[in-house]
Amino acid sequence: MNSLEQAEAARIVFLNSAVVSGNCRDLKAFERRLTEYIHCLQPATGRWRMLLIVVSVCTATGAWNWLIDPETQKVSFFTSLWNHPFFTISCITLIGLFFAGIHKRVVAPSIIAARCRTVLAEYNMSCDDTGKLILKPRPHVQ
């Protein structure tokens, strides 16, 4: 191998390593951005989960009191709801929250991670629920 071939081989190795390191930088930037985005959603998701838990417990407690009340069976449905405003208000609030999309907001980071996993699967990659990229080993072809 003469010096010209050695120089060309060194240049090819340098170019290949530059391409690989450029791709790694892109992957690292994508991973940082995905992790940052999912991390920024966590506080809001936690608050939505807490609100959903509180309203669900209030609705369940109100429903229990509504069902064990002996007057509930003797009066009409709307009168029984009027007699139990705690249950009525909490039930309306829960229904309103679901119409507002709380079921999507509670699981938003999981939805984003699942969609990213779907796209990354084409490249033998995945990500966990925090946005950290996972490289899958390629199957060995013999």
Is 119 among the domain residues? yes
HSE toward the beta carbon, residue 25, CA cutoff 13 A: 6
Query: pLDDT tens across 78-108, in order?
Result: 999 999 999 999 999 999 999 999 988 888 8
Residue 141 in any domain: the answer is no
Residue 33 lies in a domain: yes
| Residue 3: half-sphere exposure toward Cβ, Cα within 13 Å | 0
Q: Given the structure tokens 């989960």, which residue do they identify?
A: 49
Indicate whether 81 belongs to any domain: yes
Percent of the chain with pLDDT over 70: 79
How many CB atoms lie under 10 A from the CB of residue 139?
A: 7
Let me know if residue 59 belongs to a domain.
yes
Would residue 121 count as lying in a domain? yes
Give the model's confidence band at 141: pLDDT under 50 very low, under 70 low, under 90 confident, else very high: low
For the chain, the domain total comes to 1
Q: For residue 113, which of 123, 133, 128 has the smallest C-alpha distance?
A: 128
Q: What are phi and psi of 101, to 5 degrees?
A: 95, 25
Put simply, whether the predicted model's pTM sits higher than 0.75 gets the answer no
Task: Find the domain containing 95 and state its range.
Answer: 3-135
